[in-house]
């Protein structure tokens, strides 16, 4: 379904449900991350790209302090909850807009009641930040309809806090920041400590292809929070000899080599991934600026091997997709994107070889796992906006 069709879908469903036109329509994109995985909650560097797959929200304010929400992708399921107090968590999709209400109250901001219908073509559980797209779209809508204004980076921080403290997933800032502040045609270099952002044009003649393994995982119930705890443990131990460090972002590879014997083996491997992944982000930025796509691709593959071996967040399906991708002529590199444990891989490939890549990935995956991955081309898109 095209983005124009998604717009029409939510508008028509809103009119059918609430018998009037919506006041506004909001879109907030999902993302892929070119490089910098599991570095964001370690105060490190990431390079995400907002994509042309998004959450779409048709919404109007109401005079009553209630939210009535219909999720078209959940069979038209509805949630109704108060916005003048903290709504109770019941699990499921409604916790994400409820989390935004909670975060607004924490900021002493008063959200208005709303009627809303939403739909999304960001795959759920695929590592493309479907939850951040929903959070940012609702946060933006409440901002526009209520009597307050937030800068987009501040909106991203609010949405991150909502997911951390209400939903219970200790994600970093990357997903919400790129959904809020993406730029058409560009990838973002984000310093997750200072929130300084830089933008890099994506090279012409190159496609970013996403292959969805269809293996799904729930971040809240996965090893994600365990990995974060292990990184914090590494910092706590290393601070005995590096008292100035606050996060693994402050540790360089040479320091980790000399002090790594202090860490339990599994904690050392987690730290080694993060420290070297931060270095890879800087290397990819330099290579992109110089147009050195072969170097970029090599670094993507190195990053995948580190995620597989040191951070242990890959899966056989993801490894198979990466291995199959790099067999194709015109493929520069591939790696898993997102938190891992399932989801997607990204492939940097010459546009002329996209058809061959798709065919090879599909046939190899069918041969190994008796099912077909979803393969599609993504384009760098703008962040959240009113349409």
What domains are defined for the chain? 3-201 (3.30.230.10)
Find all residues with CB under 8 Å of 102, minimum gap 6, and list them: 86, 87, 162, 165, 166
Q: What is the DSSP letter of 74?
A: G
- Residue pair 344/337 in contact (Cβ under 8 Å)? The answer is yes
Q: Please give the distance of CA 356 from its chain centroid, rounded to a whole number.
A: 27
Give me the catalytic one of 175, 212, 250, 310. 175
Neighbours of 319 (CB within 10 A): 17
Q: Which pLDDT score is estimated for 220?
A: 44
Q: Please give the distance of CA 134 from its chain centroid, rounded to a whole number.
A: 11
Q: Which pLDDT score is estimated for 170?
A: 77
pTM score of the predicted model: 0.90
Find all residues with CB under 8 Å of 231, minimum gap 6, and list them: 38, 41, 42, 247, 248, 270, 271, 274
pLDDT by position in tens, the chain (length 387): 888 899 999 999 999 999 999 999 999 999 999 999 999 999 999 999 999 999 999 999 999 999 999 999 999 999 999 999 999 999 899 999 999 999 999 999 999 999 999 999 988 877 788 999 999 999 999 999 998 999 999 999 999 999 999 998 878 899 999 999 999 999 999 999 999 999 989 988 999 999 999 997 665 456 888 999 999 999 999 999 999 999 999 999 999 999 999 999 999 999 999 999 999 999 999 999 898 999 999 999 999 999 999 999 999 999 999 999 999 999 999 999 988 888 899 999 999 999 999 999 999 999 999 999 999 888 899 999 999
Could you confirm whether 309 is annotated as catalytic? Answer: no
């Amino acid at each position: 379904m095209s983005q124009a069709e998604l717009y029409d879908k939510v508008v028509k469903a809103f009119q059918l449900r609430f018998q009037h036109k919506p006041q506004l329509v909001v879109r907030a994109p999902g993302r892929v991350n070119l490089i910098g995985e599991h570095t964001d909650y370690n105060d490190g560097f990431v390079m995400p790209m907002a994509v042309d797959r998004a959450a779409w929200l048709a919404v109007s304010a109401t005079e009553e302090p209630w939210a009535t929400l219909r999720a078209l992708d959940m069979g038209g399921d509805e949630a109704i909850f108060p916005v003048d107090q903290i709504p109770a968590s019941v699990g499921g999709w409604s916790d994400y807009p409820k989390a935004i209400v909670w975060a607004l109250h924490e900021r002493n901001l008063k959200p208005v009641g709303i009627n809303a219908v939403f739909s999304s073509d960001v795959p759920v559980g695929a590592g493309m930040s479907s939850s951040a797209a929903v959070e940012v779209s609702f946060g933006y809508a409440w901002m526009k309809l209520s009597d307050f204004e937030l800068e987009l980076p501040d909106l991203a921080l609010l949405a991150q806090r909502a997911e951390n403290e209400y939903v219970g997933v200790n994600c970093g800032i990357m997903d919400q920041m790129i959904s809020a502040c993406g730029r058409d045609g560009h990838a973002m270099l984000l310093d997750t400590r200072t929130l300084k952002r830089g933008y890099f044009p994506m090279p012409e003649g190159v496609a970013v292809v996403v292959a969805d393994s269809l293996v799904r995982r729930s971040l809240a119930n996965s090893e994600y929070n365990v990995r974060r705890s292990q990184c914090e443990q590494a910092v706590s131990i290393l601070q005995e000899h590096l008292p100035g460090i606050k996060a693994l972002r402050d540790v360089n590879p040479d320091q980790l080599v000399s002090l790594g014997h202090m860490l339990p083996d599994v904690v050392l491997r987690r730290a080694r991934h993060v420290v070297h992944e931060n270095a890879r982000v800087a290397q990819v930025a330099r290579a992109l600026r110089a147009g050195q796509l072969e170097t970029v691709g090599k670094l993507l593959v190195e990053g995948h091997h580190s995620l597989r071996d040191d951070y242990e967040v890959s899966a056989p399906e993801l490894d198979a997709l990466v291995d199959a991708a790099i067999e194709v002529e015109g493929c520069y590199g591939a790696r898993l994107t997102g938190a891992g444990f399932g989801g997607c891989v990204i492939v940097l490939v010459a546009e002329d070889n996209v058809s061959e890549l798709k065919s090879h990935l599909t046939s190899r995956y069918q041969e190994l796992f008796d099912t077909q991955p979803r393969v599609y081309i993504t384009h760098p898109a703008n962040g959240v906006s009113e349409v």
